Amino acid sequence: GLQNSETIGNVTLTSTGSPATASAGGSPYTITASNATGGTFNAANYTITYNPGVLSINKAVITATADNLSRLYGASNPPLTIAYTGFQNGETSAVIDVLPTASTVANAVSPVGSYAIVPSGGSDDNYTFNYTNGTLNVTKATVSVTANNQIRIYGAANPPLTISYSGFQNGETSTVIDVLPTASTMANNTSPVGSYVITPAGGSDNNYIFNYNDGTLTVNKAAITVTANNQSRLYGAANPTLTITYSGFQNSENTAVIDVLPTAATSATVLSPVGGYLITASGGVDGNYTFSYTDGILTINKATLTAKADDKSRIYGQVNPTFTITYTGFLNGDNAIGLDVQPNPQTTATLASNVGSYPITLSGGTDNNYTYTYQSGTLTINKATATVVVDNNTYTYNGSQKVATATTTPSGLNVTFTYDGSGTAPTNADAYDVVGTINETNYLGSGIGTLTINKALAIVNIGNLYQNFTGSPKPVTTSTSPSGLNLILTYNGSATVPSSVGSYNVDAVVNEGNYTGSASAVLVINGAPTSNGIANVNVNEDASDFNINLYAAFDDVEDTDPNLNFSIIQNTNSSLFASTVINSGILSLDFAENQFGSSNITIRATDTGGLFVDQAFAVNVASVQDDPQFVSAPVTGAVQGQLYTYNVITSDPDPTDTWTISNLIALPVWLSLTDNGNGTALLSGTPTNGDIGTVGIALGVVDDKGNDDTQFFNIVVSNSNDTPFFVSTPTTAATQDISYTYFINVNDDDVGDVLTITAPILPAWLSLVDNGNKTGVLSGTPNNTNIGSNIVQLRVTDNSGAFSNQDITINVDNANDAPFFTSSPVLIVNEDEFYQYNIITTDPDVGDDLTLKALSKPIWLTLNDNGDGTGTLTGTPLNANVGSFSIVLNVEDQSGANVNQNFTITVNNTN
């Protein structure tokens, strides 16, 4: 009813019930309005009518939420409680007429899981209830799993590893466990003596968690039998090395594993007598073995004592001397006095025994510590003295030995003579001092005398009485009977040997100790022949034979013509002649074809005495024009693929001529002819497969006068096996972990050859496939170990065995590899126990720097990066940390490649 858009600012409202404290049970309540004021209106302008209203109070809503609770499997349910929200006016659950109650279907035998806690049953005048269920979480109970302690001997197999349990609920046993834990230990039959943890692990169950308690496997020492080996030595010698034999080693071990080896000892010393002595072993110490000792025996055997009978001597007919013994080999200061029974020396020689050597033998010795080696001595019986009278003898020299004679006392003894000190009877004429010496078995003695030999008569012969004059002395020759006697020669009474032509009286007188004699003769010295001269010969080239009478050209006073001997001693140009022959005093000159020029020839005439005279003359052959000619024989065989050469040689008898060499018919393409301009040429070339067969060649030579010659021949070109070859160019670069391929192509000029591709040098990461059609494939994927230069040698071989190689160096570049974890994390730890996980990572790329970090971990764990790819994750969980924790570790290399290790650590509660 307000006019003009006016407003009322305030109205006073009152109620029979306070809006804040009035209960819903007293509703409804009257609301009275009064005292309108404020705003834009003026109360004077209006008649105000106040109409009452009604205050209705409805029940407020309370949310009753069953509290979430938890307990262990097998335990009684905890008290079920309810939390409230929505109370008005500061009220609490104390004002509620009937409190709600909470209940659940879970009981002590309910398995692990979540169960609803349901609130219900509440009633109140002022509130209605909005119920929210809670959850009772039945969590796994803890079962203590304890590995039972075990014992075994070192080297034996581990015993069965068993487990004991405690903490089962509701009278249950291990039969209810879904997956039973198993026990394991790092110890094996080679593990040394000590204690090893038996670790239980691997159990899982819906209603239980496992608190693992390690057991201990005790590995006790195994027993070794130590036997001192039996030994032996000789009396007085040092003890041999004392050795030991072992039995009972485990795991194929030997003495090398023993910490302190046992030693063997004996009470025997170098002075100990012959007998048996214990060898005892002791002192062995080892972590894995105990020692059982067995004694050995050291047997001391008798030493060898050498007893040698001393050498003795006496005169023939006397009694034997006393025999003595010399000993070698005594030990420990022993001597002959200490021997049990000394040897007895004896000999076979008696008073009547002849001069000579007799053995002194030993026998009969015995001793506890020695065996005897006997060495015989020698009793030498020397000769007695006798008398010798030498006769004086005279003989005439006849070349035979002359022997002296003598008488002895006692008579009949053999005597040996020397002549002027020599034992050989003399033969030469002379007087000799003779000494006679008895050479008898039992006697010695000597005497002296003289033996005379007179000279014998010899015959002398003189020879070589006709000699040629040479201007040098011409001695005669002589001989004697007997032969070889020395002579004194004179020529016309002089000792000088004559050299001039003439006759000489020669006298020869024997000059020898054993002979006398002489002879005379006449020596004639002969002169040389003389020359009358030979006229020079002048003819034209190719002239007929020319004869010269040499009998007319030479004379000799002493010899007739037929007795002269002719020879050519010089021919300065023998090429002018086909032959030069002397027959019956006629020199025949046979001129060589196409030869001209001059030669000086010297003829020698020799007489029967060997004296000669030389005569020279000239032969002049005038030239005429000649044809050039081929001198060389052609090479008629060639081999495909090999250089053919024929060195052509021509000549022209005319020295001033010039000439050329050419081919008269066209040469095959593979051949070329080069005229060297000096009368020679080179025909050469290398035939190919297409040139195999026979080709005709015609060569010609012509001089500057138009004279010529030809040479016709065939060249037969034979096939030869060609070496196959690689056509393809290899791929020389590869990258680690990326496939490498090289497609190979080969070929051979020999059509139809079968080619085989092989690889004499091939890294293991590569493989070669020969497709059998002159192609192949070399392929493979290099890994990290192949980075760098890889040497490859490919070979193609034809069916004749010819081959060629293709040497390749493949450079493999590195590709960064991600690092990775090689260690396995520790997954379970008990509260208040120290946890440690020794982290080990690696990277295939040698030298990469690795960084460890923890992307996710609880605060009670600390990560330490050692900077070398290893680290430790350590910490001690408290009671508040009981439960499971997700761990994410990361390792990253310097190039950013990285990998995570995700695992969960379970912290077990302990009472």
pLDDT tier at 21, thresholds 50, 70, 90:
low
Give CA separation, 445 vs 68, 411, 417, 439, 723, in Å: 150, 12, 12, 8, 100
Quick check: 590 and 633 in contact, CB under 8 A?
Answer: no
More confident residue, 563 or 266: 266
Residue type, 476: V
CA angle 591, 595, 596 (to 5 degrees): 95
Q: For residue 24, what pLDDT is reported?
A: 54
Q: What are phi and psi of 690, to 5 degrees?
A: -75, -10
CATH of 457-526, one of 3.40.50, 2.20.28, 2.30.30, 2.60.40: 2.60.40
Q: Give the per-residue pLDDT at 826.
A: 96
- Long-range contacts of 863-872, Cβ-Cβ distance < 8 Å, separation of 24 or more: 863/889, 869/819, 869/840, 869/841, 869/842, 869/843, 870/838, 870/839, 870/840, 870/841, 871/839, 872/836, 872/837, 872/838, 872/839
| % of the chain at pLDDT higher than 70 | 98
Sign of CA dihedral 703, 705, 706, 708: negative
Residue 853 has pLDDT above 70, yes or no: yes
Give me the mean pLDDT over the 872-876 stretch. Answer: 97
Alpha-carbon distance 631 to 302, whole Å?
Answer: 99
662 backbone dihedrals φ, ψ, rounded to 5°:
-150, 170
Q: Is the dihedral of CA 316, 319, 321, 323 positive or negative?
A: positive
Least confident stretch, 15-29, 122-136, 758-772, 804-818: 15-29
- Is residue 661 predicted with pLDDT exceeding 80? yes
Q: What percent of the chain has pLDDT over 90?
A: 75
Structural domain boundaries in the chain = 10-55, 64-83+96-139, 141-220, 222-301, 303-381, 384-448, 457-526, 531-622, 629-718, 725-813, 820-908
Instruction: Return the CATH number of the domain spanning residue range 820-908.
Output: 2.60.40.10
Q: Has residue 26 got a pLDDT over 60?
A: no
Which one of 1-5, 292-296, 811-815 scores highest in mean pLDDT?
292-296
Of 235-239, 314-318, 597-601, 669-673, the range with the lowest mean pLDDT is: 314-318
**Predicted pLDDT at 751:** 78
CATH of 531-622, one of 3.40.190.80, 3.30.710.10, 3.30.70.150, 2.60.40.10: 2.60.40.10
CATH fold of 725-813 reads: Immunoglobulin-like (2.60.40)
Phi, psi of 322 (to 5 degrees): -75, 135
3-state SS class at 476: coil
Mode of pairing for the β-strands spanning 127-132 and 60-66: parallel
Is pLDDT at 194 greater than 70 in this prediction?
Answer: yes
Give the pLDDT band of residue 143 (cuts 50, 70, 90).
very high
Measured between alpha carbons, how far is 462 from 519 in angstroms, rounded to an integer? 7
Q: How many CB atoms lie within 10 A of CB 789?
A: 10
Q: Do domains 222-301 and 820-908 have the same CATH topology?
A: yes
Amino acid at 403: V
Over residues 493-499, mean pLDDT? 93
CA atoms within 13 A on the CB side of 401: 10
Is domain 629-718 given the CATH code 3.40.605.10 in the classification?
no
Residue 502: the pLDDT is 73
The CA angle 800-804-810, to the nearest 5 degrees, is 145
- Looking at residue 470, its pLDDT comes to 84
Which residue, among 734, 759, 733, has the nearest Cα to 746 in the 3D structure? 759
According to CATH, what is the number of the domain 222-301? 2.60.40
Report pLDDT digits (tens) over 664-719: 999 999 999 999 999 999 999 999 888 989 999 999 999 988 889 999 999 999 98
DSSP code for 74: T
Given a cut of 80, whether residue 52 has pLDDT beyond it is no
- Residue 765's DSSP bridge partners are none
**Does residue 643 carry a pLDDT above 80?**
yes
Residue whose pair of structure tokens reads 């080069």 in the numeric block: 674
What average pLDDT does this structure show over 111-134? Answer: 94
φ, ψ (nearest 5 deg) of residue 786 = -100, 5
Average pLDDT of span 344-371: 94
Q: What is the pLDDT of residue 467?
A: 85
- What pLDDT is recorded for position 595? 85
Residue 267 has pLDDT above 80, yes or no: yes
Contact 103, 69 (CB under 8 A): no
In the three-class reduction of DSSP (H, G, I as helix; E, B as strand; rest coil), residue 45 is classed as helix
pLDDT of residue 54 exceeding 80, the answer is no
Residue 9: the pLDDT is 74
Confidence of residue 624 (pLDDT cuts 50, 70, 90): confident
Average pLDDT over residues 642-646: 95
pLDDT in tens, 708-755: 999 999 999 998 888 999 999 999 999 998 999 999 999 998 878 899
User: What band does 247 get if pLDDT is binned at 50, 70 and 90?
Assistant: very high
- Calpha distance 524→301 (Å, rounded): 100
Average pLDDT, rounded, for the chain: 92
Query: What ranges make up the beta strands (E) of 268-396?
Result: 275-282, 289-294, 296-301, 303-309, 312-315, 325-328, 344-347, 356-363, 370-375, 377-382, 384-385, 387-390, 393-396
**pLDDT, position 17:** 53
Which pLDDT score, from 0 to 100, does residue 221 have?
95
pLDDT at 8: 83
| DSSP character at residue 214 | -
Nearest alpha-carbon partner for 368 in 394, 397, 331: 331
Q: Which residue has the tokens 């000999």?
A: 347
Q: Is the pLDDT of residue 18 over 70?
A: no
pLDDT bracket for residue 571 (50, 70, 90)? very high
pLDDT tier, 28 (very low <50, low <70, confident <90, very high otherwise): low
Give 412-454 pLDDT, tens digit per residue: 899 999 999 999 999 999 899 999 999 888 889 899 999 999 8
Half-sphere exposure of 154 (CA within 13 A, CB side): 22
CATH number for region 141-220: 2.60.40
Q: Which residues contact 250 (CB under 8 A, 6 or more apart)?
A: 154, 155, 156, 189, 222, 288
What is the pLDDT confidence band of residue 81, given thresholds at 50, 70 and 90? very high
Q: Does domain 303-381 have CATH number 3.10.430?
A: yes
pLDDT at site 27: 59
Tell me what pLDDT residue 259 has: 94
Q: What is the mean pLDDT of residues 291-314?
A: 95
Top pLDDT among 100 and 29 is at: 100
DSSP strand pairing (693-703 vs 725-726): unpaired
DSSP 233-255: EETTSPPPPP-EEEE--STT--G
